Amino acid sequence: MLIFHPKFNQTKRMSLFVRKSIPQLLVEAGDSEKGLKRTLSSGSLIALGIGAIIGAGLFSITGMAAANYAGPGIMISFVIAAIGCGLAGLCYAEFSSMIPVAGSAYTYSYATMGEFIAWIIGWDLVLEYAVGAATVASSWSGYLSKLLSNYGVAFPEELMKTPFDGGILNLPAVFIVVVMSLILIRGTSESAKVNALIVILKVSIVIVFIVLGFNYIRPENLTPLIPENKGSFGEFGWTGVIRAAAVVFFAYIGFDAVSTAAQETKDPKKSMPIGIMGSLLICTVLYILFAYVMTGVTNYKEFEGGELAPVATAINWMGPIVNGVPHPDYPWLNTAIIFAILLGYSSVILVMLLGQSRVFYSMSTDRLLPKIFSDIHKKHRTPYKSNLLFMVFVSLFAAFIPGRVVGEMTSIGTLFAFILVCAGVLVMRYTMKDAPRAFRVPLVPYVPVLGILVCLGMMVFLPFDTWIRLLVWMLIGLDIYAEYGVKKSLMNAGKKHFKDKTIISICGLILSIVLIGLAFAHHNMIKETKGDSALFVFSVIFGSLHIIYFIFKYIRDKRLASSQKD
């Protein structure tokens, strides 16, 4: 039986940092889930983690990161990314064992750090789930193009590329997002056998690729291991390796699914760290071997141009080279693997869209978002309106934004969420010392602090334009919270806390100033090249308008707070 200390059960405190009590969350979980059975063992969690981790990041982003940033050094990038994931994973394990409720970082943070931080994490998770689904859809389109070409079918190229890549729109990416969204609306769920089959399929693809590819590794493709820096920060050299680590971090997204299964684990204290670290270790070894074969079989320069189907490209080079033209020994393998990847990608998109709708469903039930996101279909019992809205949102991203951009946005958004999770453990150890925990992060504060530093380090090495897009996204989130969420919040119902509202304005002002500063820094760095003047102009105008808005809002809320005090 859980016993809760009154010190950390502070639901009566009404402010931007009001917290949901842990007993309240457990009661809600019991009402909605009717008590999940604890049936998962350490082995089950490892299998769950491997199935969730291996996906689009490995089969798509790896080639692009090798071509643009790290070369064969992409192997080292995978190790760096794994270290950041492992440290954050331990923090996730403590969260999930302390609050053993099926949910996400949004739910955990609402109970530990308060509503404002919960909103930030919930809004940031859109970058992991919705934008991540768009990244996978873009890669799905690339592999579909390869599959069709194997059968002599030529789909119009302009309908498979975004306007930024010289096309009109990525139509296949829109198609798969629509199909998966409609499946979610109907409430169709995958059976345990299908899930197990997909896990076996994904791992088999990687193992077959590695085993066959070893016979075609050309040593000259791996020399030098870390190509010389081209004179720009992040373009090869060690800075490129670390930047690639931040990009391929996308390949590890999904391990947090292990931490959310704490409520169904027999012995979470023992099994959670084994499940998280075990799945990460196995996937890291497979990833390093995969990258070794991929860059050994094919020169990393072959992946230039935003190639999102590197496996297909590498398989084409598994054979003799005559007059510089490869003649693949396993053309049938290419077709079989591409078909399997397409099926695997479809399930990844489904899971990401499902995760996104669940996060926004929770935020909507807390009234931080409009009720439309928690409206349930009478027949299918699914948040169908939310699924439809995200079907449109994700389709637009996949249709018009290049896969590289959305992939990096997903990485920076997830890294930011992991930083907040690591920080949350530090906060809990101070504010909730007596809260029962089935698992405790070892060596606190060192492990959480290292997690923060490693994840922040990878964020710093991401391109400037990715940071700019993150700041724009977070400012949009602040706008919605300031004008809707804080006013409609269920936990703050009927309270006029104008003094706390000034915190939103101060945060908004800081973010707006930083956005403009980064926009100018990025513009100066690339002004000698083609540059990205549209992003620069938009960022300056967007940031300037927000400075005006938040100054006005700060003065208004300050005046209202003074009158409220009187």
pLDDT tens for 381-438 read 777 888 889 899 889 888 888 766 777 777 788 888 888 888 888 888 887 777 777 7
Give me the DSSP letters along 429-478: HHH-TTS--SS--TTTTHHHHHHHHHHHHHHHTS-HHHHHHHHHHHHHHH
Measured from the Cβ of residue 248, the count of other Cβ atoms closer than 10 Å reads: 29
Taking the alpha carbons at both ends of the chain, their separation in whole angstroms is: 46
What does the CA dihedral 418, 420, 421, 422 come to, rounded to 10 degrees?
90
CB neighbour list of residue 523: distance below 8 Å, 6 or more residues apart? 531, 532, 533, 536
pLDDT value at position 38?
Answer: 61
Rounded to two decimals, the pTM is: 0.78
CB-based contact 38:266 (threshold 8 Å): yes
What is the spatial distance between Cα 331 and Cα 337, in angstroms, rounded to a whole number? 10
What is the spatial distance between Cα 333 and Cα 331, in angstroms, rounded to a whole number? 5
| Stronger pLDDT, 526 or 468, i.e. the higher one | 468
Q: How many helices (H) does the chain have, and how many strands (E)?
A: 21, 2
Tens of pLDDT, residue by residue over 470-479, are 899 999 999 9
DSSP 141: H
DSSP 224: S
What is the spatial distance between Cα 275 and Cα 99, in angstroms, rounded to a whole number? 17
343, two tokens: 């099926």
Q: Which residue type is seen at 67?
A: A
Query: Distance between alpha carbon 80 and the CA centroid of its chain, in Å?
Result: 17
What percentage of the chain carries pLDDT values higher than 70?
Answer: 84
Residue of 328, 360, 260 whose CA lies nearest to 52: 260
Q: Which residue type is seen at 329?
A: D
46, two tokens: 């490892």
Residue 548: which H helix or E strand, with range? helix 533-565
Measured from the Cβ of residue 435, the count of other Cβ atoms closer than 10 Å reads: 20
Tens of pLDDT, residue by residue over 535-552, are 889 999 999 999 999 999
> Distances from the Cα of 256 to the Cαs of 53, 73, 349, 433, in angstroms?
9, 26, 16, 24
Q: Angle 171-186/331-365 helices, nearest 10 degrees? A: 50
336, two tokens: 């079989």
For the chain, give the mean pLDDT.
Answer: 79
pLDDT value at position 33?
Answer: 45
CB-based contact 353:397 (threshold 8 Å): no
CB neighbour list of residue 492: distance below 8 Å, 6 or more residues apart? 14, 15, 18, 115, 486
What band does 8 get if pLDDT is binned at 50, 70 and 90? very low
In the predicted structure, residue 36 carries a pLDDT above the cut 60: no
